[in-house]
Structure 1
């Protein structure tokens, strides 16, 4: 095929793809007339686009409709690293809630998401579901002083929690005093809508519980930790609403 013909065809393929993605009602006749080619040429072009992975549906006959399958973009959804981490945490929460509202099977979605991580990271984050706990709704006392944590704090916390890295935080106590802590975020606990971090506090040298909305700043560190058993937090979990780390 001459170079000019090849260039023309590439431009035509790009135009066909763009027209299909516009979701306009198209027919084989109308599209071939618009492009100035025969319906046979258009059919060959459509097959090339199909071979490239574009799920094109066409009705039989010269005047038949042509369109993209309704799910054409699903397989091409891309997430950033932080978005994938946030989604993993959200899926783990949904699975732990065991609510009849979540009727879809979430495990295959989680497996597909895990497959996008490196082998080392997959090993690190494979137990994320077991490290999230969902309790009763927060008490009125807790809600009276609650405000949602900022997105930068949530992002750093999620990444440190999932990948088992130490987290440096600025934490505001119930009295309003702010201290800097280095913590090991072992578990997350939801008393809706309030999140808690069950952690080992290196400043105190002991297990502590931190309310996420009182974390004013957070930064993940390079050092890592080994997750300890949830039984180490039994005393903390019994009377969570009155614990003030």
Structure 2
């Protein structure tokens, strides 16, 4: 329905028949989706005259976004990261946005989001050498790491060290740390039976195992952070 809402806002008038043809569904399906959108509060106007159609009020938009819970969590965490980095640019309204997002959550979900935020650490800026060697990690790796971090689920990863040697590990991603612009995964490594730090862009593949872990305190990882020269 998101694509349908965007189309209705951008175009003057769309007939149900044309919408059904464009989206490859029946007119009945389009009619049902339009009704659901109205029930969700979207101001859909209908012109029943000759050559008429339906459209979404163009003034609708800002302040009326309907975010799914995972999307709201991601946005809230992104705001928290920006605030922790203390950048002077574009932060004037972030506090207001954050408060509105938090207010939309139930107390239980607020607690969950606060726990997630506490697991994201902001360190110092990465060295020039490190910045020259970074590459964007594969999208599938980012998605798996994101899900495992939120769900406290373990991952099987293929990891490439600086000397290009590769190894297969089962890890528990307890914390994420940003040494701008490089992200690190602070994890319990089952291969080494202890805490280890992995550069996210050196993870070549990642798959969920279906197993979950109990969160360890940050202090349990301080030694490995010190060993890797990562400063919080």
Same fold (TM over 0.5): yes
Larger Rg: 1
- The 5 A counterparts of 1:167-178 are 167-178=155-166
Q: Distance in 2 between matches of 1:188 and 1:234?
A: 13
Offset at residue 55 of structure 1 (A): 4.7
- For residue 92 of structure 2, what is the aligned residue in structure 1? 103
- The 5 A counterparts of 1:127-206 are 127-206=115-194
Q: Does the 8 Å contact 1:172/1:178 carry over to 2?
A: yes
Q: Distance in 2 between matches of 1:237 and 1:196?
A: 10
- For residue 33 of structure 2, what is the aligned residue in structure 1? none
Q: Does the 8 Å contact 2:102/2:110 carry over to 1?
A: no
Q: Distance in 2 between matches of 1:97 and 1:23?
A: 40
SS in 2 for 1:127: helix
Given the alignment, which residue of 31, 49, 68 partners 2:57? 68
Given the alignment, which residue of 37, 60, 78 partners 1:90? 78
Q: Distance in 2 between matches of 1:162 and 1:139?
A: 28
Aligned residues: 189
Q: Distance in 1 between matches of 2:175 and 2:146?
A: 11
Q: Which runs of 5+ in 2 are unaligned?
A: 13-36, 46-55
| TM-score, with structure 2 as normaliser | 0.66
Q: Distance in 2 between matches of 1:18 and 1:146?
A: 36
Deviations 1:37-64 (A, max 9, x none): xxxxxxxxxxxx999845589xxxxxxx
Q: Which runs of 5+ in 1 are unaligned?
A: 1-16, 25-48, 58-66
CA RMSD in angstroms, aligned pairs only:
3.6
